[in-house]
A and B are shown apart, each in its own frame.
Chain A
Amino acid sequence: MQSQLPFYPEQASNFAPSVDSLMTFLILVSVFFSAAITAAIVIFFFKFHRKSKNEIGVPIHGDMRLEISWIVFPAFLALAMFGWGAVVYVDYRHPPQDTLDLYVIGKQWMWKIQQPNGRREINEMHVPVGRDVKLVLASEDVIHDFFVPAFRVKMDVVPGHYNTMWFRPTKAGHYHFFCSQYCGTNHAVMGGWVTVMEPSDYAAWLSGSTGEDVNPVVAGEKLFAEKACSTCHLSNGTGRAPSLNGVYGGTVRLADGSTVTADDAYIRESILDPPAKIVAGYQPLMPAFQGQLTEEQIMSLTAYIKSLQSQPVPATGAGVTVPGKR
Chain B
Amino acid sequence: MSATMSTTPPQSPGYQLPKEHYLNATYGIRSWLLTTDHKRIALLYLASVTFFFFVGGIFATMIRIHLLTPQGYLVTPETYNKLFTMHGVAMIFFFLIPSIPAVLGNFLIPLMIGAKDVAFPKLNLLSWYIYITGGCFVLYSFATGGLDTGWTFYTPLSSVYSNSAVTPAILGIFINGFSSILTGLNFVVTIHTMRAPGMTWFRLPLFVWAQYSTSIIFILGTPVIAITLLLAGLERMFHLGFFNPALGGDPILFQHLFWFYSHPAVYIMILPAMGVVSEIIPTFARKPIFGYTFIAASSIAIAVIGFFVWAHHMFLTGESTYAALAFSLLSYLVAIPSAVKVFNWTSTLYKGSISYDTPMLYALGFIGLFLIGGLTGLFLACLGLDIHIHDTYFVVAHFHYIMVGGAVMGYVGGLHFWWPKITGKIYPEFLARLAAVILFIGFNLTFFPQFILGYLGMPRRYHDYPPEFQVLNVMSTAGASILALGYLLPMLYLTWSMRYGKVAGPNPWPATGLEWRTPSPPPTENFEVTPVVNWEPYDYKNRPDLGLATPTAPTLAPAHGDD
Report the bound CA distance from A62 to B248 in whole Å.
57
B residues less than 8 Å from A81 (CB atoms)? 332, 378, 381-382
Cβ-defined contact, A82 with B332, below 8 A: yes
Within 8 A of B (CB), among A197-234: none
Cβ-defined contact, A7 with B353, below 8 A: no
B residues less than 8 Å from A60 (CB atoms)? 287-288, 290, 347, 350-351
B367 within 8 A of A: yes
Q: List 14 A-B contacts (CB under 8 A).
A: A9-B455, A23-B385, A30-B379, A48-B351, A49-B354, A49-B563, A54-B548, A55-B353, A58-B551, A61-B291, A89-B315, A145-B391, A152-B387, A163-B318
Binds A, one of B90-98, B225-233, B458-466, B480-488: B458-466
A20 to chain B, nearest CB (A): 9
Cβ-defined contact, A56 with B388, below 8 A: no
Residue in chain B with minimal CB distance to A164:
B318
Within 8 A of B (CB), among A21-75: 22-23, 26, 29-30, 33-34, 37-38, 40-41, 44-63, 66-67, 70-71, 74-75
A residues less than 8 Å from B466 (CB atoms)? 176
B residues less than 8 Å from A62 (CB atoms)? 290-294, 344
Contact of B81 among A87, A181, A184 (CB under 8 A): A184
Binds A, one of B51-59, B154-162, B259-267, B520-528: B154-162
Within 8 A of A (CB), among B263-298: 285-288, 290-294
B376 within 8 A of A: yes
A residues less than 8 Å from B343 (CB atoms)? 37, 66, 70
B177 to chain A, nearest CB (A): 23
A5 to chain B, nearest CB (A): 10
B residues less than 8 Å from A71 (CB atoms)? 336, 340
Residue in chain A with minimal CB distance to B392:
A180
A residues less than 8 Å from B456 (CB atoms)? 7-9, 149
B residues less than 8 Å from A163 (CB atoms)? 317-318
CB within 8 Å of A: which residues of B? 11, 77-78, 81, 148, 150, 152, 154, 156-157, 160-162, 245-246, 248-252, 285-288, 290-294, 315-318, 321, 324-325, 328-329, 332-333, 335-336, 339-340, 342-344, 346-347, 349-356, 364, 367-368, 371-372, 375-376, 378-379, 381-388, 390-392, 452, 455-457, 459-466, 539-541, 547-551, 554-555, 557, 559-563
Instruction: Using A40-B349, A78-B378 as known contacts, list a sample of 13 further A-B pairs with CB atoms less than 8 Å apart, ordered by residue number in A.
Output: A9-B455, A30-B379, A53-B563, A57-B285, A59-B540, A70-B340, A82-B332, A90-B321, A94-B321, A108-B161, A160-B250, A181-B154, A189-B464
Contact of A48 among B336, B354, B388, B460 (CB under 8 A): B354
Cβ-defined contact, B548 with A56, below 8 A: yes
Report the bound CA distance from A88 to B324 in whole Å.
12
Task: Decide yes or no: A180 and B384 within 8 Å by CB, A56-B551, A59-B288 being known contacts.
Answer: no
Pairs of residues from A and B, 9 with the lowest C-beta to C-beta distance, nearest first: A149-B457, A160-B245, A88-B384, A57-B287, A89-B383, A85-B382, A57-B352, A44-B349, A180-B459
Cβ-defined contact, A48 with B318, below 8 A: no
Say which size band chain A's interface belongs to.
35 or more
Cβ-defined contact, B317 with A158, below 8 A: yes
A1 to chain B, nearest CB (A): 12
Cβ-defined contact, A188 with B339, below 8 A: no
A294 within 8 A of B: no
Task: Decide yes or no: A19 and B379 within 8 Å by CB, A58-B287, A70-B339, A184-B162 being known contacts.
Answer: no
B residues less than 8 Å from A61 (CB atoms)? 288, 290-292
Cβ-defined contact, B391 with A180, below 8 A: yes
Cβ-defined contact, B390 with A51, below 8 A: no
A159 within 8 A of B: yes
B residues less than 8 Å from A58 (CB atoms)? 287, 351-352, 551, 554-555
Residue in chain A with minimal CB distance to B84:
A182
A residues less than 8 Å from B315 (CB atoms)? 89
Report the bound CA distance from A41 to B356 in whole Å.
13
Within 8 A of B (CB), among A127-150: 141-143, 145, 147, 149-150
CB within 8 Å of B: which residues of A? 7-9, 15, 18-19, 22-23, 26, 29-30, 33-34, 37-38, 40-41, 44-63, 66-67, 70-71, 74-75, 78-79, 81-82, 84-90, 92-94, 108, 141-143, 145, 147, 149-150, 152-156, 158-161, 163, 176, 178-189, 290-291
Cβ-defined contact, A57 with B286, below 8 A: yes
A residues less than 8 Å from B385 (CB atoms)? 19, 22-23, 26, 85, 88
B residues less than 8 Å from A158 (CB atoms)? 251-252, 317-318
B residues less than 8 Å from A183 (CB atoms)? 157
Cβ-defined contact, A153 with B342, below 8 A: no
Report the bound CA distance from A183 to B457 in whole Å.
18
Residue in chain B with minimal CB distance to A159:
B245
Report the bound CA distance from A41 to B346 in whole Å.
6
B residues less than 8 Å from A57 (CB atoms)? 285-287, 351-354, 540, 551, 555
Residue in chain B with minimal CB distance to A109:
B77
Residue in chain B with minimal CB distance to A177:
B457
Cβ-defined contact, A188 with B455, below 8 A: no
Cβ-defined contact, A56 with B559, below 8 A: no
B residues less than 8 Å from A45 (CB atoms)? 349, 354, 364
B residues less than 8 Å from A78 (CB atoms)? 332-333, 335-336, 378
Task: Decide yes or no: A56 and B287 within 8 Å by CB, A30-B375, A37-B342, A89-B324 being known contacts.
Answer: yes
Cβ-defined contact, A156 with B317, below 8 A: yes
Cβ-defined contact, B562 with A51, below 8 A: yes
Residue in chain A with minimal CB distance to B329:
A82
Task: Decide yes or no: A59 and B541 within 8 Å by CB, A26-B385, A44-B354, A185-B81 being known contacts.
Answer: yes
Report the bound CA distance from A59 to B353 in whole Å.
11
B residues less than 8 Å from A38 (CB atoms)? 368, 371
